[in-house]
Amino acid sequence: MSPRPVLPTLERAPDGRLVILTDAPITRPYYSVLPLRDALVEMGNEIIPQPGADDGFYDRPDGPICDLAKPILAADWAMLEERFVIPPRIGLALPNLIRDSYNWVDIRGGVRVDGAHRGSGRR
């Protein structure tokens, strides 16, 4: 596994929320969603380890993905929106799926340890 990228300090918006950065290095297109993933883990979710994963994200033909054990609920998304200023290109695309539509990076919730998916969203 590669060492975790050093994230720059996120700026605060006037309302106190952290501003999600939109410029991800080409070598780590998931860079912009790391704070969201980390916040979900802080809220009690867990990363499902995958072979060849880089900081929890692994490659697929349609872009990197990070699997989390617990579903990503609308309430979780609402808590993320209270904590962060999230650009429009990043959103709750389907139940259990946060997508950065510019970089084609996903965070998928509700994944069992065997890799099967518990809810909606692409596999």
Residue scoring higher pLDDT (120 or 28) = 28
Q: 35 with 20: CB under 8 angstroms?
A: yes
In-domain check, residue 42? yes
- Count the domains in the chain: 1
Q: How far, in Å, CA of 66 to CA of 41, rounded? A: 12
Does 116 map to a domain? no
Q: What is the mean pLDDT of the chain?
A: 85
Cβ neighbour number for residue 118 with a 10 Å cutoff: 14
Give domain status of residue 21, yes or no: no
Whether residue 121 is contained in a domain is answered as no
According to the model, what pLDDT value does residue 103 have? Answer: 87
- Which residue segment(s) compose the domain that 35 sits in? 31-91
> Per-residue pLDDT averaged across 72-97, rounded?
94
76 is a domain residue:
yes
Scan for tokens 């297109």, then name that residue.
29
Q: Do the domain assignments include residue 115?
A: no
Q: Is residue 60 part of a domain?
A: yes
pLDDT at residue 117 above 80? Answer: no
Of 23-32, 48-57, 99-108, the range with the highest mean pLDDT is 99-108
Is 1 part of a structural domain of the chain?
no
CA nearest to 111, candidates 36, 49, 63: 49
